[in-house]
């Protein structure tokens, strides 16, 4: 069984890409050919079928440029159990296309309940890795890390990309001194008095991952770190030397390739960068809207994925100098 971190490294090398494409279906935004125009009443089954077909073509378009895909399960759950069927079929399609699948499920629970979630998402639904929320502590992580022995991976939320992430994740740092984590952070220090919660979580993530390191030196237990807070990312890169970062917030949320630089190691490895609507709905926004438009939506999506890869490959190459 190949360790998940080693699988990520192999995919990054083979594809020359650290790109993760979100698969977050929004029926109202689908090209007209899928017949789900805004406001139209459609049965869950038809919506689910349309989502699967859209994802099938989306996966084909981005597979050459992406190392992984990241379906966000909320966008499937909103169509009930038919939506979850579409989620399961999407994972199978991505696997057929040779892509690593990160289920963005942010689950959190303890004991046998966490075991049930792990069995659901890393077993039955067969994602290669999932995102999890650390609020319940080690009891809530252990049942998931048990799956790392089976080649599966985790990404634990450490510092998220949203504006209000500082409210709890920077605790007890006073908001005025460091809202958004852009000021007042401690570089590379040890945990202690006044240490932020995200830093405490970072230490736990390194501990949780210790028994699950691959040949590459990284662990199958990764971390979600918002690319929107580059200074915090620098601090966390030092605090978690064996942890692969999953960086959301690229594109639509405002982070560019340069903002990701601090998250790569000297070999340009150690981070995956995720974009959702910036890629999977590229035909709805410039520059792709003018260049391709809705009729050529697959070409638009492919161009966006390739552009993202190229921008990030320059940064990754720069990291190794």
Residues marked active site are found at: 106
Closer of 27 and 268 to a copy of itself (Cβ): 27
Does 320 bind a copy of itself (CB under 8 A)? Our answer is no
Count residues binding a copy of itself (CB under 8 A): 61
Pick between residue 25 and residue 270 the one whose CB is nearest to a copy of itself. 25
- Separation CA 126–CA 71 (nearest Å): 12
241 in contact with a copy of itself (CB under 8 A): no
In terms of CB distance, is 235 or 307 closer to a copy of itself? 235
Per CB under 8 A, the list member of 34, 54, 79, 229 interacting with a copy of itself is: 79
Minimal distance, residue 199 CB to a copy of itself, in Å: 10
- Position among 27, 31, 71, 83 found at the interface with a copy of itself (CB under 8 A): 83
For residue 293, the minimal CB distance to a copy of itself (Å) is: 24
Site string for a copy of itself, 151-170 (x = CB under 8 A): ------x--x-xxxxxxxx-
Residue 283 interacting with a copy of itself (CB under 8 A) = no
**Contact yes or no for 42/78 (Cβ under 8 A):** no
Residue number, 83 or 153, with CB nearest to a copy of itself: 83
Cβ distance to a copy of itself smaller for residue 60 or 200: 200
End-to-end, the C-alpha distance of the chain in Å comes to 33
Closest CB 172 distance from a copy of itself, rounded Å? 5
Indicate whether 172 belongs to the interface with a copy of itself (CB under 8 A). Answer: yes
Q: Shortest distance, CB of residue 130 to a copy of itself, whole angstroms? A: 12
Question: Using CB under 8 A, which residues numbered 38 to 67 contact a copy of itself?
Answer: 44
**Contact between 182 and a copy of itself per CB under 8 A:** no
Rounded-to-integer distance, Cα 115 and Cα 295, Å = 44
Residue 318 touching a copy of itself (CB under 8 A): no
3-state secondary structure the chain: CCCHHHHHHHHHHHHCCCEEEEECCCHHHCCHHHCCCCCCCCCHHHHHHHHHHHHHHHHHHHCCCCCEEEEECHHHHCCHHHHHHHHHHHHHHHHHCCCEEEEEEEECCCHHHHHHHHHHHHHHCCCCEEEECCCCCHHHCHHHHHHHHHCCEEEEEEECCCHHHHHHHCCCCCHHHHHHHCCCCCCCCCCCCCCCHHHHHHHHHHHHHHHHECCCCCEEEEEEECCCCHHHHHHHHHHCCCEEEEECCECCCCECHHHHHHHCCCCCCCEEEEECHHHHCHHHCCCHHHHCCCCCHHHHHHHHHHHHHHHHHHHHHHHCC
Task: Closer to a copy of itself by CB, 38 or 266: give it.
Answer: 38
Per-residue contact flags (x/-) with a copy of itself for residues 133 to 152, judged by CB under 8 A: xxxxxxxx------------
Interface residue list for a copy of itself (CB under 8 A): 24, 26, 44, 72, 74-75, 77-85, 87-88, 106-114, 116-117, 119-121, 123-125, 133-140, 157, 160, 162-169, 171-172, 193-195, 197, 200-201, 204
């Amino acid at each position: 069984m190949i360790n998940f971190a080693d699988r990520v490294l192999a995919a990054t090398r083979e594809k020359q890409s650290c790109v993760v494409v979100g698969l977050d279906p929004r029926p109202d935004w689908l090209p007209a050919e899928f017949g789900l125009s805004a406001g139209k009443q459609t049965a869950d089954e038809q919506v689910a079928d349309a989502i699967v077909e859209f994802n099938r073509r989306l996966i084909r378009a981005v597979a050459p440029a992406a190392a992984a895909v990241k379906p966000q399960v909320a966008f499937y759950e909103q169509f009930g159990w038919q939506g979850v069927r579409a989620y399961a079929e999407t994972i199978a399609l991505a696997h057929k296309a040779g892509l690593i699948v990160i289920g963005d499920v942010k689950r959190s629970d303890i004991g046998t309940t966490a075991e049930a979630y792990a069995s659901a998402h890393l077993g039955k639904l067969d994602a290669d890795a999932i995102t999890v929320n650390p609020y319940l502590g080690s009891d809530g992580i252990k049942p998931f890390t048990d799956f790392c022995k089976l080649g599966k991976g985790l990404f634990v939320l450490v510092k998220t990309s949203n504006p209000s992430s500082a409210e709890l994740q920077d605790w007890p740092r006073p908001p005025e001194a460091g809202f958004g984590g852009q000021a007042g952070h401690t570089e590379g220090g040890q945990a202690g008095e006044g240490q932020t919660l995200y830093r405490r979580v970072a230490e736990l993530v390194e501990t949780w991952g210790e028994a699950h390191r691959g040949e590459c030196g990284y662990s199958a237990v990764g971390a979600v770190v918002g690319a929107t807070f580059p200074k915090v990312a620098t601090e966390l890169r030092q605090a978690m030397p064996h942890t692969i970062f999953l960086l959301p917030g690229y594109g639509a949320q405002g982070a560019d390739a340069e903002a990701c630089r601090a998250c790569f190691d000297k070999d340009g490895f150690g981070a995956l960068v995720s974009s959702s609507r910036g890629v999977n709905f590229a035909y709805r926004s410039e520059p792709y809207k003018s260049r391709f438009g809705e009729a050529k939506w697959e070409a638009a999506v492919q161009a966006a994925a390739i552009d993202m890869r190229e921008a990030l490959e320059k940064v990754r190459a720069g990291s190794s100098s």
